Amino acid sequence: MLQVHIDSAGYQQKELYLKNISFTINPGEIVGLIGANGAGKSTTIKSIIGTIEHFHGSIELEEGKQLAYIPEEPILYDRLTLWEHLRLAATSYEMPQDIWESRAKDLLKKFSLTGKEHELPIHFSKGMRQKTLICLSFMTEADIYIIDEPFIGLDPIATKHLINLIYQEKERGAALLMSTHVLDSAEKLCDRFILLNEGHTVFQGALQELRTETSQPDDTSLLDCFYELLEEDSS
């Protein structure tokens, strides 16, 4: 559904940080994009959505498919209410009114935002703004979701609802690329992983393949495998 080929990318033409990163995301698949701070996760995501200044390569989204993006830092319009944000997103995706309103009301209830529809998100907490973005994105029922650090700022109940939504969209056939530092959640959610270190790929595959790659027992956690792989890559 999505093919990513990044020959090089970065914020300055003379210092292109990402090098030779290629992967695909298939329908009904959850892929974890993981790495330490500064590994290149956010730069990779910005390359995919087209907001990186210097990019060389190709990003191919299957024709007719729609993409939704949930950034790490919630960014909303100061002068639009929550409901106006939802209406704007629905209009952008050309969604029939009865469909988007039904989905929106269901999501607002799930994430405890019912009653906040006519308030300005500028007055929301970071967690509420994050939940607003989740509602905006999942309301669209996109074909592929790009999610950057989705669990940061969410309370346990909201986290559980988000996990359920991710599984629900996977079952519907949507593809999800998720960047996260919360490796215990990634281990449970993701079908396979793309591990980045210092701007390049050090591993692609499922957890069991990663255990084999790092010569770890079958019960070794993603975190421990990740640590071993980075130690090998740095040596």
Per-residue confidence in pLDDT tens, the chain, 235 aa: 899 999 999 888 877 889 999 999 999 999 999 988 888 999 999 999 999 989 999 999 999 999 999 998 888 999 999 999 999 999 999 999 999 999 999 999 999 999 999 999 988 998 999 999 999 999 999 999 999 988 888 899 999 999 999 999 999 999 999 998 888 888 999 999 999 999 999 999 999 999 999 999 999 999 999 888 887 766 6
At residue 235, the pLDDT reads 61
Distance CA 62, CA 96 (A): 23
DSSP track, 167-210: HHHHHHT-EEEEE-S-HHHHHHH-SEEEEEETTEEEEEE-HHHH
| pLDDT of the residue at 234 | 64
DSSP string, 18-69: EEEEEEEE-TT-EEEEE-STTSSHHHHHHHHHT--SEEEEEEEEPTT--EEE
Report the pLDDT value the prediction gives residue 13, as an integer from 0 to 100: 81
Task: Name the pTM for this structure.
Answer: 0.91
pLDDT of 111: 95
* Structure confidence at residue 148 (pLDDT): 92
CB 195 within 8 A of CB 34: yes
What pLDDT does 233 receive?
A: 67
